[in-house]
Amino acid sequence: MQEILNAPDSIPQSVLDKAYCVAVLPSVKKFAIGVGGSYGRGVMTCRGGKDFKGKWGAPTMMALEGGSVGLQLGGEATDFVLLLMTSNSASSLCLAVVASHKTQAT
């Protein structure tokens, strides 16, 4: 979190103060030759409390995975910083992470 705030083209503090959760996914890799895939790992932290208005909580590890089919050729690596600005987006992502962990555990 501190690295993001100290970056020269950082996220303004006023915007970060309104975020319910922040997810950082460095170097998400995409590659395709007709059929493509993407994969990346990162961390997410959310504000505590019932309405996501409390202090920042402990970080949660997460993975981003996807596939695609179509006319495509190439590869890239991209860094993502996601700011979840509504309680619905925060709740949905938290539920998706929990569901993902449950399916991996079984």
Number of structural domains (the chain) is 1
Give pTM, 2 decimals: 0.74
**Per-residue pLDDT reduced to its tens digit, 10-37:** 788 888 888 888 988 988 999 999 999 9
Please check whether residue 100 is in contact with residue 93, taking contact to mean a CB–CB distance below 8 angstroms. no
**Is residue 104 predicted with pLDDT exceeding 60?**
no
Average pLDDT, the chain: 82
b/e code 69-91 from CB counts within 10 Å (16+ = b): eeeeeeeeeeeeebebeeeebbe
Q: Print the domain residue range for 30.
A: 2-105
Residue 71 — very low, low, confident or very high, per pLDDT cuts 50/70/90?
Answer: very high
**Per-residue pLDDT reduced to its tens digit, 44-53:** 888 887 777 7
